[in-house]
Each structure stands twice: as C-alpha cells, then as structure tokens.
Structure 1
Amino acid sequence: MTEQAPGLASDPSWDAGRSQGRLVVAWQNPESRRIAPVALLDHGHDEYRFRYLRPALLVPGFRPFLNFPDWRTDYRSERLFPLFAPRIMSPRRPDFQAFLRQLDLAPGATPWEQLARSGGRSSGDTIQVFPVPAVGADGSTTCMFLVHGVRYCNEGRLPPLVRGREVELVPEPTNPKNPLAVQVVVDGTPIGWVPDLLLDYVRGVREAGSVRTVVQHVNGPEAPPHLRVLLRLEGSLSNGRRPMAGSDWETFSG
C-alpha cells in the first residue's frame, strides 16, 4: 500500500532536485541513549519514500512517528516529508552559506545533500539520519561522517587538525555504553567516536584490509559540537559485502 503525503506547500527550493540516495533513519532512546535504525528514507528522480524496517518493532521504547503512524505503509511524496523538512536550513537565512561551509558543501548544495551531511540533528531531538556508504563494483568504498561525542573528549578541545590529516580508528571494548564502540584518535588523543550505525560497516572495511581515514573538514569552537570534525574513510569490502543490507534491514513494504 502506498500513501501520498502532503508536500511542503509553497517553496520549490525544498525539492531535492538532482540529488538521489538513501538515508537510514535512526532513533535514540532518551533513557538508554542507544541509537537504533528504524526506517529508510529514499529519494529518487521525482519522489521521496519512507518505509519502516521490520526490526524497528523490537526496538525498546520506539513507537511509530506521528507523521508515519502505520508500520506497513509505503509513504511517498513529491516533497520532503514534514518530519525532515525542518531539519534543513532555508537558503533565505543570512547564515545559510556559512552553514554549508561548516558542512563542507558547495554553495549550490541541495537540501538532500544538506540533510545527508548534517545528519538532520537538532538539540534535544531523538532522530538522526545517516547516508548509506557507497560501494563500487570492485568493492572499493568511501564514506564521510561527522565525529560523534566531541564534547565528551578533553572538554571539547581538539588538537591541531587540518584537511588530509590521517586519524586512527581504535576499538574501545571497555566502553560502558557500547563494547563495540570505536574511538577516533589523533596522536594518542581521543577526539570522539565513530557513529554507532557505522560500526558494522567500519568493522567490515577493517577486516577487508587497508583502510585510511582522514580529516575532510574541521570547524572552530563556534560550530555545534556535532559539526566540529568531518572525516573521510576509504577502503574496501570483500566477498560482495554491502553496508546496511541483509535481514536486519528489511522493510515491511519491500
């Protein structure tokens, strides 16, 4: 079953235009702080699509979003759904171009590109989105992600960082919240963590062999903590492995 969601009424600039792709929609439990994938958000040539993941039924404390009340509906819209549209900065704001620079996006970046890069996070919110990492036919893969938890390392103070500087990804099995956690380390100093939803992907890339992770962009202390450091990971996946695929990522509507 499909349902046509109401579009954003008047502004064509909200349309993602040329951008296409898939984002994982994640929900953070406000009590345990654990982050779990609950849905997929796709954008094709002319529509957006939202579908719940089957395992979302088993996520403790999670209930369907008000905008998407039915687990099994295949929601479609020509415009970005109201749940996600407010997570994009309007190009009419005077600080819009400065925000794009913080995200290391070109001046003509589309709303979809902005949403994918920023994660759609807002203060006190429980929703985040993550782009599915790209994988080539030869298994080569690349992924850009914002370092999580910068504010909790060294009181938010960062060592000197420049574009292209290599960083280490160090497993942290003693992490009290997630024994699978991976720290981002510069010259022995932790600066934050790999986002939880990328841990399986990062593990697969590390198992396949060579992996290189470098600073793509760094912002000053005036930027929100979750936007301070953008990293670029390059490597490969073996045996036809694909990120965010398999039974754990099946949707109700196929």
Structure 2
Amino acid sequence: MGRLEHGPGFGYRFHYLRAAAVEGFQAFLSFPDLSHEYRSERLFPLFSQRIMSWRRPDFAEYLRQLHLDAHATPWEQLARSEGRRTGDTVQMFPVPSVEADGSSTCFFLVHGIRYVTGGPLPVLAPGDRLELRREPGNVRNLAARLVCTSDGAPLGYVPDLLLDHLDAMLGTGPVSLTVEHVNGPEAPPHLRLLVRLAGSTPPGYVPMSGGRWRRWGS
C-alpha cells in the first residue's frame, strides 16, 4: 500500500502507492493524506514500534532468530522481520536488489509454515537445496508458489509480494533456492525458516516498479 525509504540526504520518507486504491482501504492515522510524501529525520513511530528494544533481555536471541549480527540497524531489522506486530495486519517487505549485470539475491522468511506443515519442520540445515512448486488448487492465489524440500515435502509459501520478482527471474533462467537459517519451535512460526533466492533478471528490469507499485496519483 505504501513505500518507506531511507537514505542519506532525506532521512526517512513514506508515500502511498497505487495499490492503496482498493475498496475498504483506510489511510494510516499517522499518514492521513494519500497524495502527500511524509519525511522525517527519525523513523516514523508507526514503524519504530515494530523494532524490538535493545534493552530487552531477549534482544540478542531475537537478532539470532533473524540471522542478523549484533550491529544490525533498525532498518535491517525491519527488512528482515517484515515488521510484524501482534494485533494488526501491517506487513513490510524489502525491495529486492538487482546488480548491474542483472543478477539478484534476496532473503525471505517462508510464509504459512504452521498451516502447510501442520507440525514441526523436517530436519533442515543451512545450504540445503529447496524446490519451488505451483499450487493450482490454491483458490486464494492462483500464482502461489510452494517452497518444498528437495524430495518434495511442502514447507510453506513464497511471500505474495515477491511473486512478481520470482517470475521475472524464472523467465530469465533457473533460480537457486537454499536454506539460510532455521529456528527451533521456540521461535514464532513466521520466523522459523529463512531462505536465500538467487538468479538473474531481464535487461533493464527494476523490481517492484510500474503498475500498482507506482506512487499514488502518478
């Protein structure tokens, strides 16, 4: 629904996307004007409250679950954790990076694990190869892609927001999907499995641009 950016010279900025033009969508209370670009030197409260305080005794364990080092910035924590917070449906997702040669590598948390596996994950280790599989019977999303073990056992789903990028990569050539980090049952279900996706994109391709990704009113 919106894009949050961070960089030198402008601090933080947020604006709505064309995707916000859906029936029933209500602007965030802190960003009431759909056509305005909001700027701040500090991270907006809507997002800063989605970062765990370093003062909490479980902060180090939280970073471990996210597969981040002790010096990870709040921005890196948001990008990895998807900014989830109990009690709302806000979800954040980083724009995948693409190198000058068209190669792209990104990390994502596998979605829907508790619904797909119905129990604990099979034994997985960093570097294990994974497979992608379509799910034609998925009435909620016909484009859904299952993440499976090398022997075909389903684990969960590729995040919906990454599907267009994945299709761009698959249209260019084969992709590599491997286990990056696995957490035990003590971690929340959405943090159980972090994977690495790598491949190539078409010439001139820009991820998450055009169509619904354009700025509101453009």
TM interval, shorter chain, is over 0.9
Supply the distance in 1 between the matched residues of 2:59 and 2:181 (Cα, whole angstroms): 18
Between stretches 150-159 and 79-88, larger displacement belongs to 150-159
**2:152 corresponds to which residue?**
188
Aligned length: 216
Report the 3-state secondary structure (helix = DSSP H, G, I; strand = E; otherwise coil) of the residue aligned with 1:231: strand
CA-to-aligned-CA distance 1:56-93 (integer Å, 9 cap, x gap)? 12x23211000100011110001110111110001111
CA-to-aligned-CA distance 1:26-51 (integer Å, 9 cap, x gap)? xxxxxxxxxxxx00000012510000
**2:35 corresponds to which residue?**
72
**1:231 corresponds to which residue?**
195
Report the 3-state secondary structure (helix = DSSP H, G, I; strand = E; otherwise coil) of the residue aligned with 2:93: strand
Taking a change above 3 Å as real, the CA distance of residues 247 and 177 of structure 1, as seen in their structure-2 partners, is closer
Supply the distance in 1 between the matched residues of 2:119 and 2:195 (Cα, whole angstroms): 17
Q: What's the CA shift for 1:253?
A: 7.3
Report the 3-state secondary structure (helix = DSSP H, G, I; strand = E; otherwise coil) of the residue aligned with 1:129: coil
Give the letter aligned to residue 107 of structure 1. Answer: A
Q: Residues 18 and 217 of structure 2 are in contact (CA less than 8 Å); yes or no, is this contact kept in structure 1? A: no
Q: What's the CA shift for 1:235?
A: 0.2
- TM (norm. structure 2) is 0.96
Give the letter aligned to residue 212 of structure 2. Answer: D
CA-to-aligned-CA distance 1:154-177 (integer Å, 9 cap, x gap)? 213211100011100111121121
**2:105 corresponds to which residue?**
142
**Structure 1: any 5+ residue segments left out of the alignment?**
1-37
- Give the alignment's Cα RMSD to 1 decimal: 1.2
Report the 3-state secondary structure (helix = DSSP H, G, I; strand = E; otherwise coil) of the residue aligned with 2:212: helix
**Structure 2: any 5+ residue segments left out of the alignment?**
none
Larger strand proportion of the pair: 1
Supply the distance in 1 between the matched residues of 2:100 and 2:134 (Cα, whole angstroms): 28
Give the letter aligned to residue 162 of structure 2. Answer: L
Runs of 4+ in 1 over 3 A off after TM superposition: none
**2:16 corresponds to which residue?**
52
Supply the distance in 2 between the matched residues of 1:85 and 1:60 (Cα, whole angstroms): 28
Supply the distance in 1 between the matched residues of 2:152 and 2:120 (Cα, whole angstroms): 14
